[in-house]
Structure 1
């Protein structure tokens, strides 16, 4: 497998796109009827131009956190308490009408199942137009077209591929994920939440999508909360890694520090379960894993 240095180490902690002022800062608790404490005084920050990886075992509350930031827990009967500061506004204090203006425009979400997230009965171009018009009423057709083409160029899906004329069922999973990312960045959001965005992809496509997230963060100065159960994928692109357990952040360090000197027992157990470099060399764990460990 071809080796290329991980983006994490190229960007470094002193990247000019990194801002000392948190873009997102939260202290959050959340639960559901009959399931209190799914999130328990969870504290986390994401800065402009920074990629924060969030890892943890299944059921620890990672996806609940993503929904809580977007104030969508109510869709599953959940409730959040505490503070979610985004650009100096507490999202929990906003009216729902104000949140609707933020979702998709300033805070965007990419999910793990791209085919399921797209409308099977509409062409991709139509879905992109609808996503644009939600937050850009009054703009011209030409402005809409320019924005869509710009986003598709950003995710390496040029018009020559014909994707805009196709239906979701005609796309590969990798193409569909790029479409979702293009839709997410259409309005140039300040924060992108990526919830297990590579879990449905094959190993080679995973590596391409990871590289794409790193490129977009650098190019757009966008903060990214990258949620995954895969510590190696997170290490490939993250500036910092937060480890989550039972609704809390139990460790959060710069990526190199966490890999070299983990402080929490859960982090140490997760690292001890990673495949050895010998297995990586044999190709069992894929290029993303190889890149991250070789860089460390």
Structure 2
């Protein structure tokens, strides 16, 4: 990574209250995001991807217990900020794009007016004309045609892909340094998905914003991300450049994810699913969390009894596997 990190997570750990007990949802999550970089976070449902993003801005359930060595952003530690200080960061310097735009957009308020309000919240001295000019500029940036007239419409008059572009425009309107995009292309068809990804790439190219893209779709990651953080059972198991990850994974879970994706097989061959299911966060095994599902020929008793740390392999890539220096071939 050539650019200096704009966001840096070090040892982020999160416990959620369930009944009378706390359950550890995130374990020692550590990675950096460079200015102007699109980094992908991938993993199965329940791996901790979305909770990682929510932990950055501390948009957490009641009684959540967040401990972190550091969530570094512009010289500050977000984990130690008071609520009033965090409000100056949320939406202003770090924007959030959620999976379903209808949970973000108010159905009875014009789209443009909602983006105007997002700007004026953080710029209270701005007038209506200034806010509208900024909103229209962002709508045009993300590819909304006839933005001036479309801004006067209501969310139900926009398609799903267009609504998602509006939410991206809302996240960009305050010129943030980072955008956290949580499954922004899920439930969209391939054509609209490509348009939404193009909007994120335009934001990166024209505004220099860094994007943390959370998705279960490895095809999406291969198109836009320069690096990938692979998560499993609440922890990071591999961090690698996108090309390196797809060509030569250093963790058997990463290799299994890539092998099981549609398009990874010759025509007519069945998809190969990862056997078993992810462990319950309340009942993780003593060793590697992936060991019960691992089909690596290198799997040993050590995998079952000792949890591997996230450490560099011989080529410098980070992997939480005891056999990170061995080729991770998938045994179907």
Q: Same fold (TM over 0.5)?
A: yes
Given the alignment, which residue of 102, 120, 124 partners 1:133?
Answer: 120
For 2:5, the equivalent position in structure 1 comes to 22
**Shift of residue 85, structure 1, vs aligned partner:** 0.5
Which consecutive unaligned segments of at least 5 residues does structure 2 have?
268-332
Cα offsets for 1:203-260 (capped at 9, x unmatched): 1101111122122112111111000011111111001011000111100000000000
Name the structure 1 match of 2:277.
Answer: none
Displacement of 1:31:
1.4
Structure 2 CA distance for aligned equivalents of residues 209 and 79 of structure 1: 34
In structure 2, the partner of 1:110 is: 97
Structure 2: distance between partners of 1:63 and 1:197:
12
Tell me which residue corresponds to 2:48: 61
Q: Which blocks of at least 5 consecutive residues in structure 1 are unaligned?
A: 1-12, 281-296
Bigger relative CO (Cα 8 Å, ≥ 6 apart):
1
Residues 120 and 169 in structure 1, CA contact (< 8 A), matched pair in contact too: yes
1:91 and 1:216 map into 2 onto residues whose CA distance is 24
Q: Please, which of 247, 252, 263 is the counterpart of residue 234 of structure 2?
A: 247
SS class of match (2:186): coil
Q: Does 1:97 align with 2:97?
A: no
2:67 to 81, 84, 90: 81
Residue 142 of structure 1 corresponds to 129
Change (3 A) 1:67 1:278: closer
Matched, 1:166 2:149: no
Write out aligned runs for 1:120-269 (5 A).
Answer: 120-160=107-147, 162-269=149-256
Between 209-218 and 63-72, report the one with greater CA deviation. Answer: 209-218
Shift of 1:139: 1.4
Query: How many residue pairs are counted as aligned between the two chains?
Result: 262
TM-score by length of 1: 0.85
Larger Rg: 2
C-alpha distance after superposition, 1:84-128 (max 9, x if no partner)? 101111001111001101111100000110123211111112211
Alignment map for 1:277-288 (pairs within 5 Å):
none
Indicate conservation of the 8 Å contact 1:26/1:85, yes or no.
yes
Over 3 Å counting, the alpha-carbon distance change for 1:77 and 1:279 in structure 2 is: farther
2:321 aligns with none
1:32 is the counterpart of 2:16: yes
Higher mean C-alpha displacement, 83-92 vs 136-145: 136-145
1:7 match: none
User: Could you list the runs of 4 or more consecutive aligned residues of structure 1 that deviate by over 4 angstroms after TM superposition?
Assistant: 277-280
Kindly provide the CA deviation profile for residues 121-141 of structure 1, in whole angstroms up to 9, marking residues without a partner as x: 111122112111110001122
Q: Check the 8 A contact 2:139/2:147 in 1, yes or no.
A: no
Displacement of 1:278: 7.2
Alpha carbons 2:111, 2:151 under 8 Å: kept: yes
More helix by share: 1
Greater displacement, 136-145 / 23-32: 136-145
